[in-house]
Amino acid sequence: MIEKTIRLVVPDWQAGDNPVYKLGAKVLKAIAPENKEQKTITVKTADSNQTLEKENNVTAQSAVLKNIRNTKKVIITEQPNKIITFGGNCLVSQQPIDYLNGIYGEKLGVIWIDAHPDISNPEVFYNEHAMVVGNLLHRGDPAIQKEVDNPLKSNQIFYAGLQEPTNNEKKLIEQAGIKYKVQDENQIDSERVIDWIKENNFEHIYIHLDVDVMNSDSKNFYATYFNNPDLGEIPDNAAVGKMSRKSIWQFISNFSQEYNLVGLTLAEYLPWSAKEMLDLMNNTNIF
């Protein structure tokens, strides 16, 4: 198989109801290391000025579905065997993982580095980014999971950095049959991940990184949900991450060297300082 890696820029913000996700995708695209062998495609998403309404108890469900379909169309057109995805919120991993699972099947393992299990459904929560794992298992939002052609099996998912789930999330995880352990330390237990890979004979790895898995102290990692200067009431399911940035960076780097990393998502990056500079420029009568 000839290796083809693409870079997907998916500025989906509707699934997390925060326009700054869109800016985060742009920043990640801008700072990514240059590689002329990797084509970069930006997926078209709706304008960030639109007002979002709930549909079927899901925020902007029709816009989210359109973004999913646009992403799916790009991937199918390009036919890669490796995908780098710059989000956007966590939902941006849905179509890359679905597609790669169609190629690698039971040999694909997904390491979900996140403070949250993202296994909700419209009966439990209203923002789609909290349903992406549920969708990939065909246990999430019925309208959105229809776009998943190659659903994962529960053993293909390893939660790393997970904080205490809500009672509803615990029930959904148990019903799905996913084994998990709440993260007590500030670094991932690599041996547990290696054991999981060996037990399941995985040959290909996809890593999903939601930056909110990290301790949001400014000396650790600032660009997370919890440092929003205008942060209002925090939802019950918004567990606070506690991971060390250095340990996460080292974990991903090591695994990319030791295993065949076929996919990487960088999600929920919220560059608040860049947003404040953008606000300045948008309100200055020279631009």
Structural domains of the chain, ranges and CATH numbers in brackets: 5-282 (3.40.800.10)
Which of these, 267, 262, 254, 133, lies nearest to 205 by C-alpha position? 262
- Sorted by sequence, the CB contacts under 8 Å of residue 45 that are 6+ apart come out as 10, 11, 12, 13, 14, 22, 63, 67, 70
Q: Around Cβ 157, how many Cβ atoms within 10 Å?
A: 27
What is the average per-residue pLDDT within 152-174?
97
- State the residue for tokens 């390009």: 78
Under the banding of pLDDT at 50, 70 and 90, the label for residue 228 is confident
Q: What is the model's pLDDT at position 48?
A: 66
Give the mean model confidence (pLDDT) for residues 139-148.
98
- Ramachandran quadrant class, 135 (left: phi over 0; alpha: psi -120 to 50; beta: rest): alpha
- Alpha-carbon torsion 33, 39, 45, 49, what sign? positive
| Residue 45 DSSP SS3 | coil
Mean pLDDT along residues 156-161:
98
User: In the prediction, which pLDDT does 232 show?
Assistant: 72
Question: At residue 237, does pLDDT exceed 70?
Answer: no
Could you tell me the pTM of the whole model? 0.96
Whole-number Å distance between alpha carbons of 229 and 92:
25
pLDDT at site 44: 93
